[in-house]
Structure 1
Amino acid sequence: MALTAPCLPVTARTTARRIPGPPATGRRTAARRAAPGIAVVFTGAGAALLPWMLVLATTLPASARVSHWATAWIGLDVMLAVALAGTGLLLRRKDPRASPVAAATAALLAVDAWFDVTTSLGTGGQGLALLLAAGAEMPLAVACAVVAGRRRG
């Protein structure tokens, strides 16, 4: 006997529906109960950054000398290379982990574009930074965001 409403014909569509069962137990339920607390922490942390941004806007110097500048940029590019290659590899394998890796890759690309453009202001490299941001980094970030937005599995 099919588990469908009395007057509906039994089709693949009606039999494929999930029938609600008893509530989940174990780790999933505990994680769902903890989620509101974590949500409050994250929301509060985001709100706490607002006054901190005002402090930074009024106290940071216009320029600074930075040691290990090349190391910071090369490190970011290494992370980007690993993230892009990892996203591609996981997509090729049709692995559901591609979505979260693509989300992280999109974030790294957006951060790289932001810092490339903002740190090049007033230098001869501003045009190249804008070109790379608009022509490569942001389009790749959007593509990664699309991949991350897909439901897999």
Structure 2
Amino acid sequence: MTGVHSLRPVRVDAGPGSGVPLILPKAAAASTLPLLLRRAATVLTVLGMAMIPWLVFLHTGLPATAQASHWAWTWTGLDSSEALGLLATGLLLRRGDCRACLTSAATSALLLVDAWFDAMTAAPGSDFELAVLMAVFAELPLAMACAVLATRTFPRPGR
């Protein structure tokens, strides 16, 4: 079944030194991707699949609780990364820089990770309730906004 996404054009380099990107339908582009990109796609796909047994091992083998030596630095570092991502995205957007799509996508991912770890590491009771409230009313909506912004600001041919 051919979906709408398979009809979108894809930029493919015409060859070394040509400096001319080709705009091809996705189906045609897959067969003309450079060898290095095809190999990278294969390696990444295999690595993703290889992580499935590792995830089962982690879930069944790790202890239910652990103590972290640098707990405050861990959370400060994550939230600092989010702040830096928001700041960089805002500044790049203000300048009309197309790289804002990259910082916005990364910030979205960081916010999702923050929401997940806040909820999963919170103590039962009011700590957990606060983590869920922060996720639902702050982190997840902001992550969604950053994801939408990333897709809307991604450079496309003819734009």
TM-score by length of structure 1 reads: 0.78
* Aligned counterpart for 2:60 among listed residues 55, 58, 61: 58
TM-score by length of structure 2 reads: 0.76
Paired amino acid for 2:47: A
Q: Cα offset for 1:24? A: 1.7
What is the rounded CA distance, in whole Å, between the counterparts of 1:148 and 1:132 in structure 2? Answer: 22
Paired amino acid for 1:76: L
Q: Cα offset for 1:63? A: 0.4
Aligned partner of 2:106 in structure 1 is: 104
Over residues 48-83 of structure 1, what are the superposed CA-to-partner deviations in whole Å (9 max), with x where a residue is unaligned? Answer: 110001111111001011111111110101111100
What is the rounded CA distance, in whole Å, between the counterparts of 1:102 and 1:123 in structure 2? Answer: 33
Larger-Rg structure: 1
Does residue 49 of structure 1 match 2:57?
no
Please show how residues 1-153 of structure 1 align to structure 2 within 5 Å.
24-26=14-16, 32-150=34-152, 151-152=154-155
Q: Structure 2 unaligned segments of length 5 or more: list them.
A: 1-12, 22-31
Q: Cα offset for 1:35? A: 1.1
RMSD of Structure 2 on Structure 1 (CA): 2.1
The percent of aligned pairs where both chains have the same amino acid is 47
Q: Cα offset for 1:130? A: 0.7
Over residues 63-114 of structure 1, what are the superposed CA-to-partner deviations in whole Å (9 max), with x where a residue is unaligned? Answer: 0111111111101011111001111111111110000111101000000000
| Structure number with higher relative contact order (C-alpha < 8 Å, ≥ 6 residues apart) | 1
Q: Cα offset for 1:26? A: 1.5
What is the rounded CA distance, in whole Å, between the counterparts of 1:116 and 1:98 in structure 2? Answer: 26
What is the rounded CA distance, in whole Å, between the counterparts of 2:16 and 2:149 in structure 1? Answer: 31
Aligned partner of 1:3 in structure 2 is: none
What is the rounded CA distance, in whole Å, between the counterparts of 1:116 and 1:135 in structure 2? Answer: 13
Q: More strand per residue: 1 or 2?
A: 2
Q: Cα offset for 1:121? A: 4.5
Q: Cα offset for 1:36? A: 1.0
